[in-house]
Amino acid sequence: MYDFTYAKPASLAAATAALATEDAKAMAGGMTLIPVLKQRLNKPSVVVDLSGLGLTGITVTGDSVTIGAMTTHAAVAASAEVKRAIPALAALAGIIGDKEVRHRGTIGGSLANNDPAADYPAAALALGATITTSKRAIHADDYFQGMFTTALEADEIITSVSFPVPAKAAYEKFKNPASRYAMVGVFVAKGPAGTRVAITGAGQGGVFRHAGFEAALAANWSAAALTGVPTSDADLNSDIHASAEYRAHLCNVVARRAVAAAG
């Protein structure tokens, strides 16, 4: 780890100001940033710890679930209200990383980092979430812009994420055998935002929607409807654990299992 200045601002304005410093880095739960710092893969001038901003808590209304950006995965997983409104979201939060990660990692941190194998991006994209920041509200369709890339500006801070409550939804994850990140994670949803399928872990550009699966499920919401619906392996990752062809195959298997789980 290289030396850096540590700041823990108490207000959004102060945090925004701190992030204006060149090479400043925001830290939510630190579950990605700290390992990266330890490996000397990043050399921030200042680490801006967002944990003094509040930004925690879960609000459930009749048609949406809004989660503060600094809410931990464990809190979402344990929330009776989330379990009731969007059980798939609580279940997803409950299988992120391991127990230690779930008690430190946050939804805002996960979405801001947009790791191509992270779980939350699949939920946000499939449910048509709105990401509210210190500056504006961004729809998930406009938010994810490729691997580790989002619509966020350098000094922009996520404050909360709002998910429309779907009629049906489920998340299924095929884990990388070594890292246990999603090798293929599929979130399926049917609700106010339409029938949407988002896939994480598989794509070279990070999370993506699967038009073929969505069309098939819009016509017939059943696992059987996905049989034979192809996934192009052109833009899928290929590594020692899974070729693009195998990942393409898994997209279908995992999507079918997700639909079956969603009921």
Partner 1 sequence: MNAVFEGIGASPRRKEDLRFISGRGNYTDDMNRPGQTYAIIKRSDRPHAKIIAIDTAAARAAPGVVAVYTSTDLAAIGGLPCGWQIHSKDGSPMAEPKHPILAEGKVRHVGDPIAVVIAETKQQARDAAELLHIDLEDLPSIATVTDAMKPGAPEVHDGIAGNQCYDWHLGDADAVAAAFKSAHKVVTLDLENNRLIPNAMEPRVALGDYDRFSGDYTLYTTSQNPHVIRLLMGAFVLGLPEHRLRVVAPDVGGGFGSKIYHYAEEAIVTWAAGKLARPVKWTADRSESFMSDAHGRDHVSTAQMAVDADGKFLAMKVHTVANMGAYLSTFAPAVPTYLYATLLAGTYTTPVIYVEVKAVFTNTVPVDAYRGAGRPEASFLVERLVDTVALELGMDRVDIRRRNFIPRDAFPYQTPVALQYDSGDYFATLDAAMKSADWAGFPARKAEAKARGKLRGIGISTYLEACGIAPSKLVGQLGARAGLYEVANVRVHPTGSISVFTGTHSHGQGHETTFAQLVADQLGVPLSQVDIVHGDTGKIPFGMGTYGSRSLAVGGSAMVKAMDKIIAKGKKIAAHLLEASANDIEFKNGVFSVAGTDRSKTLGEIALTAYVPHNYPIEEIEPGLDETAFYDPANFTFPGGCHICEVEIDPETGVTTIINFNAVDDVGRVVNPMIVEGQVQGGVAQGIGQALLENAAYDASGQLLSGSFMDYTMPRADDLSNITVGTENTMCTHNPLGSKGCGEVGAIGSPPAVIGAVCDALGIRHMNMPATPQKVWAIINGRPAA
Interacting residue ranges for partner 1, rule: CB under 8 A: 1-2, 39-40, 174, 177-179, 239-243, 245-246, 249-250, 253
Shortest distance, CB of residue 246 to partner 1, whole angstroms?
5
Shortest distance, CB of residue 253 to partner 1, whole angstroms?
5
Q: Which string of DSSP letters, residue by residue, matches 197-236?
A: EEEESSBTTSSEE-HHHHHHHHH--SGGGGTT-----TTB
64-68/24-27 β-pairing: unpaired
Q: Give the angle 55-59-60 at the CA atoms, nearest 5°.
A: 155
The smaller minimum CB distance to partner 1, of residues 66 and 243, is found at 243
Shortest distance, CB of residue 40 to partner 1, whole angstroms?
8
Shortest distance, CB of residue 174 to partner 1, whole angstroms?
7
Spatial CA neighbour of 114 closest among 94, 140, 78, 76: 140
The smaller minimum CB distance to partner 1, of residues 63 and 245, is found at 245
Q: Give the angle 11-14-18 at the CA atoms, nearest 5°.
A: 135
Q: What count of Cα atoms within 13 Å lies in the side-chain half-sphere of residue 1? A: 11
Can you tell me the distance from the alpha carbon of 187 to that of 212, in angstroms, rounded to the nearest whole number?
14
The smaller minimum CB distance to partner 1, of residues 221 and 246, is found at 246
Beta bridge pairs of residue 164: 64
The smaller minimum CB distance to partner 1, of residues 196 and 257, is found at 257
**Spatial contact of 88 and 170, defined as CB atoms under 8 Å apart:** yes
The smaller minimum CB distance to partner 1, of residues 1 and 154, is found at 1
- Amino acid at residue number 173: K
Shortest distance, CB of residue 94 to partner 1, whole angstroms?
15
Spatial CA neighbour of 64 closest among 129, 125, 141: 129
The smaller minimum CB distance to partner 1, of residues 177 and 263, is found at 177
Give me the helix-helix angle, 211-219 and 244-262, nearest 10°: 30
